[in-house]
């Protein structure tokens, strides 16, 4: 059986939570491998709705092991609060069912402070950050001054690490005219956290390697999406980690070849949160309709998502960069009742047609979409669970999307309910 990595193929919010939950029934282990608690996943199971940000989607499924890998940055206070909230909804989350990598970096209050302050500096590029401290935590990781989960268990070294971290941050805070952090205060906060966090901590790479050797099916869950990747996305309007499929192995500690199937998630249209280029964005009643019918608001932030037509050029690029084997196309039902649909099939840049999303900020701002137009459908696709239940024009739309992105649609989602899914290819089968 092939281990599966799930990645977003657009700008995030594609419905990864539902798809991961749907696939987790077939998996035995679910691993988050990058990002932080800026990743909102909504799971609808029966009459219960779970809103997750940091915890792997597998936590709501009995009998599954959930793992937060080393590629994730962990806000320990949010972690404890999310565990508490999910437990209150009747899901048993404990150190027996949830593991956190010892070498995952901690997000601290000083990271949240810095994230917000920098976003508000006049005259700078506005990224549209969630202000949750994600980027500053990753900066400290690569700057080799971060506090990691396992450091909470080495009290003698923890004090030296705090002093090293504050040498950097207090200099920044002084330059911004902000109050300094007292080392003793931060140290006391971390010592108070230690007995609550450490029971979940272990060298997860070793456990995952053992489980892989036993033939257990592992599902790797990505956050955000390809076009928010720090290297391959619409820089600088991106997140602070690598979101592509290759990060599944780096961010979990498993070796090359651990992923056998890459499933990309894409909406039947396109959305984006925050700043940055969006060639197919709609500023009219059609865009407003997509936003309202699709309930396009951030799960954790409540921010309204920008909406536009499906961008086949962008998704095709994501397919190639990730090595995507199949696409899960979500929210097809949001397109119900529209007379006409459009898909971006190319871009015009300075009078010339191009077939890729450019990586420079100036070119990204200048590209114009080239559209192909499709006849819509009046019949409802909501809740369809088989191919034959779809209107003919909806089938044509999906088939043309497959041609344009150069990748088959493996799953088709027709509502937030996990069972309203049409399976064409099972990613867990070789």
The catalytic residue positions are 13, 41
Instruction: List the one residue out of 194, 185, 191 whose CA is nearest residue 166.
Output: 185
Backbone angles phi, psi at 98, to 5 degrees: -135, 125
Chain centroid offset of residue 215 CA? 26
Within 8 A by CB and 6+ apart from 57, the residues are: 16, 17, 20, 21, 24, 30, 41, 43, 221
Closest by CA position to 68, among listed 35, 119, 33: 33
Distance, in Å, from the CA atom of 381 to the CA atom of 384, rounded to the nearest integer, reads 6
Burial category of 137 from C-beta neighbours within 10 Å (exposed 0-12, middle 13-18, buried 19 and up)? buried
Instruction: Please tell me the distance from the alpha carbon of residue 225 to that of residue 356, in angstroms, as a whole number.
Output: 17
Q: How far apart are CA 20 and CA 18, in angstroms?
A: 6
Asked if residue 260 lies in contact with residue 4, where contact means CB atoms within 8 angstroms, the answer is: yes
What residues contact 195, with CB distance under 8 A and at least 6 apart? none
| Residue closest to 212 by CA, chosen among 249, 182, 179, 251 | 249
Q: Which residues pair with 263 in a beta bridge?
A: 6, 326
Give, in degrees to the nearest 5, the angle at Cα 36 between 157 and 4.
Answer: 110
């Amino acid at each position: 059986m092939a281990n599966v990595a799930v990645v977003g193929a657009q700008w995030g919010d594609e419905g990864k939570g539902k798809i991961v939950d749907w696939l987790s029934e077939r998996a035995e282990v679910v691993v988050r491998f990058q990002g932080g608690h800026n990743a909102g996943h909504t799971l609808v199971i029966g009459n219960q709705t779970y809103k997750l940000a940091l915890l792997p989607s597998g936590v709501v499924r009995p009998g599954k092991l959930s793992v937060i890998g080393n590629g994730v940055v962990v806000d320990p206070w949010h972690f404890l609060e999310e565990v508490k909230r999910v437990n209150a909804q009747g899901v048993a989350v404990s150190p027996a069912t949830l593991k956190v990598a010892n070498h995952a970096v901690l997000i601290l209050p000083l990271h949240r402070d810095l994230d917000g302050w920098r976003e508000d500096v006049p005259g700078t590029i506005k990224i549209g950050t969630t202000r949750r401290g994600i980027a500053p935590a990753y900066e400290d990781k690569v700057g080799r001054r971060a506090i990691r989960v396992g450091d909470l268990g080495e009290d003698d070294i923890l004090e030296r690490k705090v002093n090293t971290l504050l040498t950097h941050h207090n200099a920044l805070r002084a330059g911004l005219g902000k109050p300094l952090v007292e080392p003793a205060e931060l140290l006391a906060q971390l010592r108070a956290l230690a007995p609550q966090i450490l029971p979940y901590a272990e060298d997860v790479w070793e456990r995952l390697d053992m489980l892989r050797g036993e033939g257990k099916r592992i599902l790797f869950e990505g956050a955000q999406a390809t076009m928010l990747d720090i290297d391959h996305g619409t820089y600088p309007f991106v997140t602070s980690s690598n979101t592509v499929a290759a990060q599944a192995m780096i961010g979990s500690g498993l070796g090359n070849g651990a992923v056998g199937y890459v499933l990309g998630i894409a909406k039947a249209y396109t959305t984006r949160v925050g700043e940055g280029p969006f060639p197919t964005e709609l500023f009219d009643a059609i865009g407003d309709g997509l936003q309202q019918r699709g309930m396009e608001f951030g799960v954790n932030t409540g921010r309204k998502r920008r909406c536009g037509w499906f961008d086949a050029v962008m998704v095709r690029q994501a397919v190639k960069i990730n090595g995507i084997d199949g696409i899960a196309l979500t929210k097809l039902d949001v397109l119900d009742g529209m007379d006409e649909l459009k898909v971006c099939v190319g871009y015009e840049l300075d009078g010339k047609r191009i077939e890729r999303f450019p990586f420079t900020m100036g070119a990204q701002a200048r590209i114009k979409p080239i559209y192909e137009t499709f006849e819509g459908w009046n019949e409802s696709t909501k809740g369809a669970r088989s191919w034959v239940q779809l209107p003919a024009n909806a089938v044509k739309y999906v088939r043309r999307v497959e041609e344009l992105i150069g990748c088959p649609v493996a799953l088709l989602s027709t509502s937030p309910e996990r069972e309203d899914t049409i399976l064409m290819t099972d990613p867990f089968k070789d």
